[in-house]
Amino acid sequence: MHYKFIYKIPARVPTLLFFLYNLCMINKIVHADIYTPDQFLPNQTIELKDGKIQAISPSTEKDARNPSICFDAQDLIVTPGLIDIHTHGGMGADTMDATQGALNAMSVFLSNHGITSFLATTVTASENSIYSALTTIRDSRHHLQGATLIGAHIEGPYINIIYKGAQNPQYFRSPQKKEYQSWIETGIVKLITIAPEIEGVDEFIQYCVDHGIELAIGHSNASYEQVIHAADLGVRQATHLFNAMQGLHHREPGTVGGVLADERIFAQIIVDGIHLHPAIVKLIIALKGIDRTILISDAMRAAGFSDGKYDLGGQEVTVLDGVARISNGNLAGSTLTLDKAIQNTMQFCGMDFQHVLPMATRVPAEAINMAHSKGLVKVGYDADLTFFDNTFQIMATMVGGNFVFQKNELVSNHLD
């Protein structure tokens, strides 16, 4: 297998510097087998300009001879960039660290796993801690070196202590307008997880809907009726379905039953083989459909690191065999990445790559109102692309037309 740039490197230019310099100048990808993701287009040329996809057409020999700087994607699968709308951290970093360095570590780590866009996700904490995290996201988002930080996902604090999961119970509370108004005024919030049964949540939902903020039901003891009422008000998602919420019973459908039954609600799921039994993953996708199912990681700072002791929202987390738990045994997020979630879903459900892919690309983009620019390989869309090999391993990641990650063996084979 031979991947290469279609140009010669002048001997006088140091190889590595020239390589890095030219990564930013690619304006054509040739011999690309594209999953858009809704259709398969073999042997295509993708033309790039100003960080956007300018044209897509069948590849010809003329494309490969063109003096413009090209990337030869022969034997690679090219897809829309993966989108993770629920991730707390990775590589030892966490959103709540509230530093540009932490966000950059997350951004780079995610891009190494094919993610091109993500929502940095907070945990239940004090008003000031959440505000500090949000302002750091706002001020840092254009200065990161990997995946694009497209906004914030606030998970809590307006959730139910009965289903606290690994959220810190010290900070659970009802919505306070002065507090949430200051958060939303940062202009960075895309999604908020709430428990619809909490006092004062209806007014909060209305405020968010009026300001274009998406809402998700999570850490909730809501009845079936309360879930439907929340959806009537404009709630369109459920956070890590089945986890940290009232379960399904044949005489009381509960939170899970409401989410499964209401076609308006997108279901986020953690497909790591720990949070959900494979049969439940298959059941969710069968009931909700591909177009209403979103793969998430819910990763915490231990993702990408070895087993050990870590912090999550002021609570100690022990990671053993890649499974994160707090002291009472509750799961504390995951160490999952979306590329692995795709592979797991294929395995658990017997689904092919093309049918799993939308749940990590187009569907999350739709759920956070970014389907006009992300989630598809389409003319006019952002040039955010993920490159897989034929075993569905990540080989390269492109953000806005620039490569932000390439696997070592791919890099070595690119250069003449």
Catalytic residue list: 298
- The 3-state secondary structure of 167-217, one letter per residue: CCHHHCCCCCHHHHHHHHCCCCEEEEEECCCCCCHHHHHHHHHHCCCEEEE
The span from the first CA to the last CA of the chain, in angstroms, equals 14
Q: Rounded distance, CA 414 to CA 403, Å?
A: 13
- 44 and 33 Cβ atoms separated by less than 8 Å: yes
Cα–Cα distances in angstroms (integers) from residue 3 to residues 77, 88, 129, 409, in the given order: 13, 34, 46, 9
249 contact partners, CB below 8 Å, separation of at least 6: 257
Signed CA dihedral, 342, 215, 382, 113: sign only: negative
Take residue 76 and report the two structure tokens written for it. 């690679």
Burial per residue of 115-136, b for 16 or more beta-carbon CB atoms within 10 angstroms, e otherwise? bbbbbbbbbbbebebbbbbbbb
Take residue 46 and report the two structure tokens written for it. 């993708």
Compute φ and ψ for 74, nearest 5 degrees.
-60, 135
47 contact partners, CB below 8 Å, separation of at least 6: 27, 28, 53, 54, 55, 56, 57
- Among 251, 254, 231, 230, smallest CA distance to 241 is for 254
- Among 295, 242, 271, smallest CA distance to 84 is for 295
